[in-house]
């Protein structure tokens, strides 16, 4: 879409969502003043969620405990990209380095130099406050609904044996997570603990006002249609009982939101091509 823009002069504003990270390649595409941020999550919780959402017993024919017992580092990743140490993989680690802690330390060093901010999933409110500061936004710009969250009845159980095995097998991810969790604490400290508590309270107040204004109603996926319907039947979605389009934007399912943005960009590129002067 960038290549097909009028006279190839449209510069992308955002590089986002899912990609195996390659800093040098992204730098070739994005403007020089691009700000980089990402997010980490507790590795065992991340792996359980990944398994239940995508790999799944009904797809692989293995329970979570069986997968941990039978599938090792050296085996190909499910669908070519899913498996152990998903954060490290997404940060750019190769399959061959998955049990190489020296490579993992090097990965952490590069990530620390490349990302100006790394959010922590388990501390989302504080993360959003730091994100607003980092991007020079207002708190109202980072108001969110928790969508695409797996329902409890679809979460796999895991034995203590498997949990301990995962903690060893996910060593690269734990290096990443613990490093950026410690750095996150330092950033909160530099921001000011009392100031952070006040900003988190203000963020929650703004979110409560938004919920009151829009009257968001949580519904199971089976009870949703159109733009609000998630792709997975295992998650809930939302509808806005009032507030019109401004409130409705918060409830659009993630993939559909991306499709809408892509279609908007295609129309703009098409209009730009039609209006571009002939040579």
One digit per residue, the tens of pLDDT, for the chain of length 279 reads 555 555 556 677 888 888 899 999 998 888 899 999 999 999 999 999 998 888 777 788 889 999 899 888 777 788 788 889 999 999 999 988 988 999 999 999 999 999 999 999 999 999 999 999 999 999 999 999 887 788 888 888 899 999 999 999 999 999 999 999 999 999 999 999 999 999 999 999 999 999 999 999 988 888 888 888 888 888 888 999 888 888 999 999 888 888 888 888 878 777 765 554 443
Total residues found in the chain within this entry: 279
For residue 9, the 8-state DSSP code is -
List the structure tokens of 197.
């508590």
- Sorted by sequence, the CB contacts under 8 Å of residue 225 that are 6+ apart come out as none
Give the C-alpha separation, 67 to 161, whole Å.
Answer: 12
Contact 139, 130 (CB under 8 A): no
Report the SS3 class of residue 243: coil
What CA–CA distances, in Å, run from 8 to 5, 12, 16, 248, 273? Answer: 5, 11, 20, 34, 10
DSSP E strand stretches across 121-261: 216-220, 236-240
Report the SS3 class of residue 202: helix
pLDDT at 277: 44
Strand pairing of 117-120 and 216-220? unpaired
pLDDT at 208: 95
List the structure tokens of 96.
């061959």
Contact 21, 90 (CB under 8 A): yes
**Could you tell me the pTM of the whole model?**
0.88
List the structure tokens of 128.
């959003």
What CA–CA distances, in Å, run from 241 to 233, 245, 247? Answer: 22, 11, 9
**CATH classification of 35-203 is 3.40.50.300, yes or no?**
yes
DSSP E strand stretches across 103-169: 117-120
What residue has token string 């980072």? Answer: 142
Angle, helices 193-214/171-191, rounded to nearest 10 degrees? 100
pLDDT at 244: 87
Give the C-alpha separation, 44 to 84, whole Å.
Answer: 10
Would you say the C-alpha torsion 19, 21, 26, 31 has a positive or negative sign?
positive
């Amino acid at each position: 879409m960038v290549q097909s823009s009028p006279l190839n002069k449209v510069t992308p504003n955002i590089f986002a969502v899912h990609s195996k990270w390659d800093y040098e390649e992204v730098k070739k595409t994005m403007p020089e003043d691009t700000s980089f941020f990402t997010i980490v999550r507790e590795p065992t919780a991340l792996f359980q969620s990944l398994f239940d959402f995508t790999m799944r017993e009904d797809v692989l024919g293995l329970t979570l405990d069986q997968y941990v017992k039978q599938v090792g580092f050296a085996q190909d990743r499910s669908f070519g990209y899913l498996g152990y140490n998903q954060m490290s993989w997404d940060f750019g680690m190769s399959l061959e380095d998955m049990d190489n802690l020296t490579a993992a330390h090097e990965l952490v060093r590069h990530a620390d130099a490349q990302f100006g901010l790394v959010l922590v999933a388990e501390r989302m409110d504080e993360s959003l406050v730091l994100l607003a500061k980092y991007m020079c936004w207002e708190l109202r710009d980072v108001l969110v609904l928790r969508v695409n969250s797996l329902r409890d009845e679809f979460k796999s159980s895991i034995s203590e044996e498997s949990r301990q095995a995962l903690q060893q097998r996910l060593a690269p991810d734990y290096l990443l997570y613990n490093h950026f969790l410690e750095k996150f604490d330092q950033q909160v400290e530099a921001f000011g603990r009392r100031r952070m508590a006040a900003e988190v309270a203000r963020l929650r107040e703004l979110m409560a006002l938004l919920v009151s204004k829009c009257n968001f109603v949580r519904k199971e996926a089976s009870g949703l249609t159109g733009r609000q319907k998630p792709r997975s039947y295992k998650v809930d979605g939302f509808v806005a009982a009032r507030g019109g389009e401004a409130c409705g934007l918060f409830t659009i399912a993630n993939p559909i939101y991306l499709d809408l943005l892509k279609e908007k960009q295609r129309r703009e590129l098409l209009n730009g091509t039609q209006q571009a002067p002939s040579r």
